[in-house]
């Protein structure tokens, strides 16, 4: 899995940046090129095709990063005693926002047309900043170690280099062996499913 090789933060940051680029291009083409003779005139086929291509790129960026990784982050971020409740709330929020976006999008696009894409760009900028400033890297950490990471107040942008107390004082060779063991465990658990 890519997320276990490059980490949760990088996946989410690259995903947000990729979706942002796709949405800026999509919205810009829609605003400037799709209707060269005004909203009442014919649409440009080339611009429409380009918008479809960037929609596909956007979906690819989302489906390979935010769609799966968000659930991993939620599962790893909460202690066991509240995990099921927290995951239920996050899933319910996800469904609520999907409904709201699906419900209101036709009204909004009817009013501001493809400028709506820039609203999503703003949301993607907020997502990028949230991950950068508030979400620590948790790759290879147990739930207890993740809890310690939060308790020690490690800055999220420095969390990738954080070493849990149980591993401090271990040589770099032992640490590499431990990471290999972790990867073997992940591979084993994947194969046993």
* Residue bearing the bigger pLDDT, 31 or 181: 31
Average pLDDT over every residue of 165-176: 68
Question: Does 176 score more than 60 pLDDT?
Answer: no
Question: Does 98 score more than 80 pLDDT?
Answer: yes
pLDDT at 61: 97
pLDDT digits (tens, 9 = 90+) for 19-75: 999 999 999 999 999 887 777 777 889 999 999 999 999 999 999 999 999 999 999
Q: Where are the alpha helices (DSSP H) in 62-140?
A: 67-77, 80-112, 116-134
Question: Does 178 score more than 80 pLDDT?
Answer: no
For 160, residues 6+ apart whose C-beta sits below 8 A from its C-beta are 7, 9, 137, 139
Residue 102 DSSP SS3: helix
For 183, residues 6+ apart whose C-beta sits below 8 A from its C-beta are 4
Of the pLDDT bands very low, low, confident and very high (cuts 50, 70, 90), residue 191 is low
Cβ–Cβ under 8 Å, residues 20 and 128? yes
Average pLDDT over every residue of 98-121: 95
pLDDT digits (tens, 9 = 90+) for 114-164: 999 999 999 999 999 999 999 999 999 998 999 999 999 999 999 999 999
pLDDT at 167: 84
Long-range contacts of residues 160-168, Cβ cutoff 8 Å, at least 24 apart: 160/7, 160/9, 162/136, 162/137
Cβ–Cβ under 8 Å, residues 136 and 54? no
pLDDT at 38: 73
Q: CA-to-CA distance for 130 and 136, rounded, in angstroms?
A: 11
pLDDT at 43: 84
For 15, residues 6+ apart whose C-beta sits below 8 A from its C-beta are 61, 62, 64, 65, 66, 69
How does DSSP classify residue 160?
A: G
Q: CA-to-CA distance for 162 and 146, rounded, in angstroms?
A: 10
pLDDT at 154: 93
Residue found under tokens 């709330």: 89
Question: Does 171 score more than 60 pLDDT?
Answer: no
Q: CA-to-CA distance for 85 and 106, rounded, in angstroms?
A: 33
Question: Does 175 score more than 60 pLDDT?
Answer: no
Which domains does the chain possess?
2-140+155-162 (1.20.1250.20)
Question: Does 186 score more than 80 pLDDT?
Answer: no
pLDDT at 44: 86
């Amino acid at each position: 899995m890519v997320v276990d090789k490059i980490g949760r933060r990088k996946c989410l940051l690259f995903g947000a940046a990729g979706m942002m680029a796709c949405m800026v291009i999509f919205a810009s083409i829609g605003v400037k090129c799709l209707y060269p003779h005004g909203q009442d005139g014919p649409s440009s086929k080339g611009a429409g095709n380009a918008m479809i291509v960037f929609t596909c790129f956007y979906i690819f960026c989302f489906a390979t990063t935010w769609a799966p990784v968000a659930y991993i982050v939620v599962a790893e971020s909460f202690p066991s005693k509240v995990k099921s409740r927290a995951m239920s709330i996050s899933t319910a929020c996800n469904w609520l926002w999907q409904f709201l976006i699906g419900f209101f999008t036709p009204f909004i696009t009817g009013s501001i047309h493809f400028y709506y894409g820039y609203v999503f760009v703003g949301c993607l900028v907020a997502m990028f900043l949230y991950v950068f400033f508030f979400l620590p890297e948790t790759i290879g950490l147990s739930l207890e170690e993740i809890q310690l990471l939060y308790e020690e107040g490690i800055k999220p942008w420095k969390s990738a280099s954080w070493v849990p107390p149980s591993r401090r004082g271990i040589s770099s060779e032992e640490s590499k062996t431990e990471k290999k063991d972790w990867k073997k465990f992940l591979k084993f658990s994947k194969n046993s499913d």
